[in-house]
A = this chain, B = another copy of it.
Amino acid sequence: MTVLILTCEEDVTADMVVVHLHGSGVPVVRLDPADLTAGVSLSGEYVHGRFRGHLSTGGRLVSIGGLRSVWVRRPGTPAGRAAQPSPWLTEEAAQALYGMLRGSDARWMNHPDAARQARHKPWQLRLAQRCGLPVPATLITTFPRAAREFAERFPDLVVKPVSGAHPQDPPRAVPTSRVAPDTDFTAVAFGPTLLQRRIAKRADIRLTAVGERLLAARKAAYPGAEPVEVDVRFAPPGAPWEPVDVPPRLADSVRTYLREAELAYGAFDFAEDADGTWWFLECNQSGQFGFVEVETGQPIARTVAEWLARPVPEETVEVDRTPTTAC
């Protein structure tokens, strides 16, 4: 049973996982959907109520029925590097590849539908609430009056984009910023705006969840003046990331979140306040983990490899129903 990794060529995070898979002797096939029809081929046959499918890359042929797991890392646009790329060819190639893989019994990290749902920030906030995670008071609105009233109740606010940055998009130019007390909210009417109570944080928490395993790291906040930019991506370098234990009750909530979201992998960002409370900011279903692993030494890549390599449980091996007629 083979592990299939869908990613681009230059992906050092995938390299880290592949090393562990090779070490454990598990067969791995790595391909980029962008190479479809030029380097990557596929074929699937539906005859007599059965499906037999294959993928081919670099001279290797792998059976779709023989996949134990699919890791959707950083796949390129299907057929994006074909000799004559076109939106039509991309659509056909995407349908063919993902349509066949979706029909397989392989386990996904993460399933494309779960991944898509998980990118919706408003849905994340609601799910986090339902799972008992502390969520800072948040408003998403196109009503200027609602924004004004919210700013009166919670004067110390940050503004963020509603949409989490898509992993394959260029970085967005709208970081998390503090809202000045005298802000005019009229422009809210022209586009949904996310306002959130600012957490006066003493540390950032990155909790990487791989299946049931949770690996948390903590980075003490920059010990200086409070910056106007509160997005960690734009902050000056501070303390290093260090491993930290996950409070048991919070761990329960995170596992519930993953189960409800049908995610096998998630990178949670929390802000730790002066009381030690971890406030949920977001869960990125494809968040990077290399930088945390390098600084903390936590075995995230190995844990991902172990999840991908896990054997398919026997009870999921499917028995087809006999079709009502011979095909």
Q: Which residue of B lies closest to A174 (CB)?
A: B88
Q: Which residue of B lies closest to A194 (CB)?
A: B96
Contact pick for A142, options B37, B132, B139, CB 8 Å: B37
Inter-chain contacts of A233 with B (CB < 8 A): none
Query: Bound state CA distance, A264 and B167, in angstroms?
Result: 31
Q: Which residue of B lies closest to A138 (CB)?
A: B46
Contact B120 A99 (CB under 8 A): yes
| Count of chain copies | 2
Q: Does A310 contact B (CB under 8 A)?
A: no
Hey, what's the 0/1 contact readout for A106-144 against B, CB within 8 Å counting as 1? 000000010011011111111101111111111111110
Q: Does A231 contact B (CB under 8 A)?
A: no
Q: Chain B interface: which of A21-29, A185-193, A217-225?
A: A185-193
Inter-chain contacts of A84 with B (CB < 8 A): 190
Q: Does A259 contact B (CB under 8 A)?
A: no
Which residues of A295-317 are within 8 A (CB) of B? none
Q: Chain B interface: which of A68-76, A176-184, A206-214, A318-326?
A: A318-326
Contact A98 B120 (CB under 8 A): yes
Query: Bound state CA distance, A325 and B139, in angstroms?
Result: 19
Query: Bound state CA distance, A226 and B48, in angstroms?
Result: 26
Query: Bound state CA distance, A321 and B56, in angstroms?
Result: 48
Q: Does A11 contact B (CB under 8 A)?
A: no
Contact pick for A320, options B49, B94, B95, B129, CB 8 Å: B129
Contact pick for A44, options B41, B92, B140, CB 8 Å: B140
Which residues of A159-204 are within 8 A (CB) of B? 161-164, 189-192
Contact B132 A323 (CB under 8 A): yes
Which residues of A74-103 are within 8 A (CB) of B? 79, 82-84, 89, 91-96, 98-100, 102-103
Which residues of A217-276 are within 8 A (CB) of B? 249-250, 253, 275
Contact B322 A132 (CB under 8 A): yes
Q: A100-B122, A102-B123, A116-B116 in contact; A43/B140 too (CB < 8 A)?
A: yes
Inter-chain contacts of A322 with B (CB < 8 A): 132
Contact pick for A253, options B50, B116, B141, B324, CB 8 Å: B324
Q: Does A277 contact B (CB under 8 A)?
A: yes
Q: Closest CB-CB distance, A200 to chain B, in whole Å?
A: 14
Inter-chain contacts of A50 with B (CB < 8 A): 129
Query: Bound state CA distance, A190 and B322, in angstroms?
Result: 35
Contact B146 A192 (CB under 8 A): no
Q: A136-B327, A250-B324 in contact; A95/B162 too (CB < 8 A)?
A: yes
Contact B134 A122 (CB under 8 A): no
Q: Closest CB-CB distance, A187 to chain B, in whole Å?
A: 11
Query: Bound state CA distance, A136 and B326, in angstroms?
Result: 9
Q: Does A150 contact B (CB under 8 A)?
A: yes
Q: Does A12 contact B (CB under 8 A)?
A: no
Known: A95-B122, A100-B123, A249-B324. 16 other contacts (CB 8 A): A42-B142, A45-B138, A46-B135, A84-B190, A94-B163, A95-B119, A95-B163, A99-B121, A100-B126, A102-B117, A131-B321, A132-B321, A132-B322, A132-B323, A134-B324, A136-B327
